[in-house]
Amino acid sequence: MQESILNLILVTVLMLGSPGPALIALAASGAHFGFRKSMPFLSGILVGIGLVITATVAGLALLLEQNSSVKVSLQIFGSIYILYIAYKIVFKPLLTTSSGTEDVPRFFEGLILNCVNPKAYAAFIAIFSQFLLPTENTQNSWTLTAIIVFVVVAVLDICWLYFGQLIKIIWHHPKYGQLIRVLMAISMLLAVFSSLLL
């Protein structure tokens, strides 16, 4: 069992710890607004990933794989929304709202981001179909696997948000800041479109 848990953690880190829409958005938010102000956004992302895990366990992810029209609709909507987030990363950090306050990402934006993230669904289908933990009870296997995956993802998300906090000085640099924002946005889009090919 211990070896299976270690394999599950390793696979989760490799599949969901690499740059993707949610992680890049977290890093961008941390870089611009700081760790504390980004907590609502992080909370939304974590709730969103919890819902995706629950949906995967309930069979929704498999249904999406089998129903091409629903899957394509989700992919199109998700790609458009993530394109919008990528746009905000490049342009919005330099702007303020009409009231003059910072446009800090909100809980709902984080929630939607992971719920429509094609990479998340693809990753969880692979994880739950190949690395389900062996227990005497099938329901326990799904539950234990889901809990461990969620904890690992939560740690990864916090690390990426903190990474954003660490690069805050560079993010606001007049010469290099815009370049970093553009590279993050491009990486986000590449991660999404590559997951669409899976």
* pLDDT bracket for residue 130 (50, 70, 90): confident
Summarised one tens digit per residue, pLDDT across range 11-49 is 888 888 877 788 888 998 898 888 999 999 999 999 999
Taking alpha carbons only, the member of 57, 31, 30 closest to residue 41 is 30
Q: Which carries the bigger pLDDT value, residue 129 or residue 147? A: 147
Q: What is the pLDDT of residue 99?
A: 39
* pLDDT bracket for residue 96 (50, 70, 90): very low
Least confident residue range of 58-62, 79-83, 163-167: 58-62
Q: What is the pLDDT of residue 100?
A: 41
The residue to which tokens 């270690």 are assigned: 6
Mean pLDDT of 160-180: 84
SS3 string, the chain, reads CHHHHHHHHHHHHHHHCCCCHHHHHHHHHHHHHCCCCCHHHHHHHHHHHHHHHHHHHHCHHHHHHHCHHHHHHHHHHHHHHHHHHHHHHHHHHHCCCCCCCCCCCCHHHHHHHHHCCHHHHHHHHHHHHHCCCCCCCHHHHHHHHHHHHHHHHHHHHHHHHHHHHHCHHHHCCCCCHHHHHHHHHHHHHHHHHHHHCC
Summarised one tens digit per residue, pLDDT across range 133-152 is 888 887 888 889 999 999 99
* pLDDT bracket for residue 198 (50, 70, 90): low
Mean pLDDT of 99-114: 78
Q: Domain residues of the chain, as ranges?
A: 25-196
Quote the CA–CA distance of 109 and 193 in Å, as a whole number: 20
Summarised one tens digit per residue, pLDDT across range 70-87 is 667 766 776 777 777 777
Query: 110, 45 in Cβ contact below 8 A?
Result: yes
* pLDDT bracket for residue 197 (50, 70, 90): low
Query: 44, 110 in Cβ contact below 8 A?
Result: yes
CA distances from 163 to 22, 24, 47, 140 (A): 13, 10, 21, 34
Residue 10 has pLDDT above 50, yes or no: yes
Q: What pTM was estimated for this model as a whole?
A: 0.79
Residue 112 has pLDDT above 80, yes or no: yes
